[in-house]
Amino acid sequence: MLPRRLDIGMPRTNAARSGSLVNLRPRVNTASLRRHSAVLPSVLTFAVIVASGGLLLMIEKGMLNHMDTPPPRGTGVRSDFIRNTRKQDPNVDTESQIVQEIRNRTICTMCGQKNMPHSIWTLPPVQRRTVLQHILVSDKHKFLYCYVPKVACSNWKRVVKVLNGALENVDVKIKMDHKNDLVFLADLKPEEIKYRLKTYFKFMFVRDPMERLLSAYRNKFGEIEAYQKRYGVEIIKRYRKNPGKTNGDDVTFAEFLHYLLDEDVEKMNEHWMPIYNLCQPCAVTYDFIGSYERLHQDAQHVLQQIGAPAHIQFPERQTWYKPVTTQTLHYYLCNIPQRLLRDLLPKYILDFSLYTYPFPNTTSAFCRH
């Protein structure tokens, strides 16, 4: 077995070591928010504060100054990391606004550290190439979108094609071509890239890290033969006792996670590469980071920000799409070796911490239910 690495360079947290993962997702009483005129955090908001507070405290106290962080070692401190271009929209609920502020504060504080990258030009070539290949360009509407696989990126690409005039409408029943009729920052010259990064509206969407991994696992190893042959066969041979002859179509979730644990982050397939590595939020000043959990509301906000025509709406899910429910995620996580999960979580620690997602609850008491 290959040596296990924490490729993002972050230390393993006490929570990850102990296995005492706390469920920070209580039920939210949104009606209570509407009844009160004062802007008060809900239970969920309080949970998000708790989830990110530990990391913020470590950063603000300088406790991470002597720890390795994601390469490269940039120079200078950028104070204007997140530009607050978002207007207070009365249609956006209070809870969402607070979560956005906490998320922005967490990212700003983390990325303000001197040993974090502050520009794509200070990134190593491999990391810079990855992020440039994942940022879509619309010169017509002056925006940049960093796509993250398994976070509604196919539908966003449909929207981009419609906005750029390459597709008639978002509901056209054709197989999505993920390359043609799309322009990426990687296609442009350095000066053209710098200009667009400085002046265009930049956004991305994020998702609970474990939910995203499960979605990728079910889709790629349950439905896509090319992935079964390219990855599935090797995973089974590497991690299963007496694998025998296999087509790679019966990879277990535990075997998949074992593979991720041993894989070099920078060499990962984009469908399970950490979001941090795909979009580099410290090197790119995103104006808005939307959530998969409130996809249509946040997508509508983005469409308003970029001045999209009113008739262009974010498309509904495809009828064949099989969503990952909370119950499904809990079932998979509760039925894998818990040490495996604890070892893997630090590899995605920045996706949990920067985007304010709590660690999954897999305690024995919780899993019994």
- Segment 41-100, tens digit of pLDDT: 333 433 444 444 454 444 444 443 333 333 333 333 333 433 443 445 554 567 778 888
> CA-to-CA distance for 195 and 14, rounded, in angstroms?
42
pLDDT by residue (tens digit) across 193-217? Answer: 999 999 999 999 999 999 999 999 9
247: three-class secondary structure by DSSP: coil
Global pTM value: 0.76
pLDDT at 177: 63
CA pseudo-torsion sign 333, 328, 317, 205: negative
DSSP string, 285-353: --SEEEEGGGHHHHHHHHHHHTT--TT--PPPPPTT-----HHHHHHHHHTS-HHHHHHHGGGGHHHHH
pLDDT by residue (tens digit) across 99-157? Answer: 888 888 999 999 998 889 999 999 999 999 999 999 999 999 999 999 999 999 999 99
CB contact set of 60 (below 8 Å; sequence gap of 6+): 109
